[in-house]
Structures are given as structure tokens and as C-alpha cells.
Amino acid sequence: MFSDNIYDPLSLPQILGYIATIFGIIGFQQKDDTRLKIFVLMMSVFIISHFILMGSYTAAIMAVLAASRWGLSIFVGVRKRAHIFVPLFIALFVTSAALTFQNWYDLLPSLASICATFGLFYYTRIRLRLILLFASSMWLTHNIFALSYGPIIMEGFIFFSNAIMIVRFAIENKKLPRDPKDSFLSRFF
């Protein structure tokens, strides 16, 4: 049913990446930070499986740690203890990357995860999404070099979804003027 070639766009690892893409797209369009985090956790289940089957173990470990971090960041009490959790996650990301990387681009998920850790524990709304936008660009670069088709699409959508949400929050906060009624851009906000 599935191709044995992991780089075939219809292989099982790639299909798992496509499913992760769907959860990622839905998640990053959420205004509510908790809903965003829940969808990202669902996305993580598929992306972890994708990276394991692709043999990209550094990315898989980063995704497991990131899923743990996303899950913990949902709880308000945990955010109050960010001074404990942030250094812990950073140490785990650095150690995991040092032990598993095979190519220079394998280090990008670690850097992305470190940036996202700061964002998830210390920021909300626009600032959180700006940091996630930067982290997404590092994951996108990794996925391009790793030939992970589903995650390339996913990170591209996540990148643009974050950018759109940043604009939506800015408009909502009255930092940007609203587009004139019935204009092209008004359909998206």
C-alpha cells in the first residue's frame, strides 16, 4: 500500500507528515493560546512518528521534547515556574542535539526549540507568535534539507499562519489600520 522509499511523497512517513500538517494549520489559526497548544500536541504525535520513520532522530527527539514543553506550558502554575522549566528544557535540547546530530541542519530544530521555549513560557499573543515565526523558519530550513515533504508544507503554512495571526492581533489591538471594507485583504481578517 505504501512505498518503501521514505522519500516517496506517498510513503507512510510522508503521509504522517501530511496529517501533522493538518493539525498544525488548524492549530496556528487559533486565537486562544490554549487551543493552539492542544492542536500542536496533536500535531506532535504525527510529526514524531514521521521523523522516526524518516531516520531523522534529532528532529524526532526535539519534537518529543517540544511536545512535552507545549503540554506543560498550558498549565498556568507551570508558567510561574518558568525559571525552572526553561533551563531544564534548554539543557535537554542541547544535550539531545549534541548526542544525535548527523548533519549541520540537524542542529536547527534544537535552536528552534530553544527559541520557542522562551516564547511559550514567557510570552503570549503577538510576542509568542513572533518567536514561533522565527522558530518555524528554522524548522522549515531543516525540513527542506531533510527532504521531509509533509513537514515542509506544514512549516510553510505555520509560518504564514503565524504571520496572519500577528497581523490579526495587531489589528485587534488597533496597532494597524483596518483594511477598507470589501477589499481583498478584508476577506482574511
Q: Smallest Cα–Cα separation from 6: which of 58, 64, 56?
A: 56
- Compute the C-alpha angle 17/18/22, nearest 5°: 115
- Residue 115 — very low, low, confident or very high, per pLDDT cuts 50/70/90? very high
10: amino acid identity, one letter: L
pLDDT reported for residue 100: 87
Measure the N-to-C terminal CA separation of the chain; round to a whole number of Å.
41
pLDDT of residue 185 exceeding 70, the answer is no
Rounded to 5°, angle at Cα 140 from 74 and 91: 50
Q: Are 47 and 143 in contact (CB under 8 A)?
A: no
Alpha helices per DSSP H over the chain: 12-27, 33-54, 57-73, 76-79, 82-100, 108-122, 125-146, 149-172
Query: Does pLDDT of 189 surpass 60?
Result: no
pTM of the model: 0.74
pLDDT at 75 over 80: no
Choose between 74 and 87: higher pLDDT.
Answer: 87
pLDDT greater than 70 at residue 178: no
The band of 137, judged by pLDDT with boundaries at 50, 70 and 90, is very high
The DSSP element (H or E) to which 89 belongs, if any, is helix 82-100
**Mean pLDDT, the chain, integer:** 85
Instruction: Note whether 96 and 65 are within 8 A (CB).
Output: yes
What percent of the chain clears pLDDT 70, i.e. is strictly above it? 90
Residue 43's pLDDT band (cuts 50, 70, 90): very high
The predicted model gives 22-48 an average pLDDT of 89
Element (H, E) at 83: helix 82-100
Q: What pLDDT score does 179 carry?
A: 54
CA 42: distance to chain centroid?
12
Q: Which of 37, 156, 99 is nearest to 148 (CA)?
A: 156
What is the reported pLDDT for 136? 92
Convert the pLDDT of each residue in 144-171 to its tens digit: 998 888 889 888 988 988 898 888 888 8
Residue 133 has pLDDT above 80, yes or no: yes
d(CA 68, CA 127): 21
Beta carbons within 10 angstroms of residue 43's beta carbon:
26
Q: Which of 39, 43, 59 is nearest to 100 (CA)?
A: 59
